[in-house]
Amino acid sequence: MAKSMKNVIRESAKIAEQREQQVRVALSEGCFTRSKICKATGLTTNELSNLLSNNKELHAEYTIKKRLMADIAADNIFDIIQDAEHPQHFQASKYIIQNYKSDIDETLIPQMGDMQIQLGQSDSSEGTPVVINFTGGNKD
């Protein structure tokens, strides 16, 4: 009886299908980063990158899961901002104000240049008043 010939194309398609199923299982189990997917599936990062670039549907699922992580992070920050007793409440509020445009951007204008605060009276016989100088960070 004659030997059957190996079909390289069929074999590579079968491997790609197996890898696709492994990645889908990893995504469903909560592995959203490339390193976690590789660890769960046993694929290398190059194999995973090639699989995602060749399979647009799988890449779309992966992208949706990555966006879900950003949504969860935004929800967590919102929860911290809502809880005034949370230890990171101030930091979360500060992060939002620094990174996102708000109505405060349109109503408050930042002061540029130097500012001076004088404490105490200058006509006092007790000595010279305390003067605090604040200068801008730009020394052009």
* Eight-class DSSP state of 5: P
- Domain count across the chain: 1
Q: Does residue 21 lie within any of the structural domains?
A: yes
Judge whether 29 lies within some domain: yes
Q: Is residue 3 part of a domain?
A: no
- Indicate yes or no: pTM above 0.75: no
Q: Is the pLDDT of residue 123 over 70?
A: no
In-domain check, residue 28: yes
- Residue 136 in any domain: the answer is no
- Tell me whether residue 120 is in a domain: no
pLDDT tens profile 66-116: 888 888 888 999 999 999 999 999 999 888 888 877 776 676 666 666 666
Least confident of 13-22, 30-39, 50-59, 130-139: 130-139
Find the domain containing 96 and state its range.
13-107
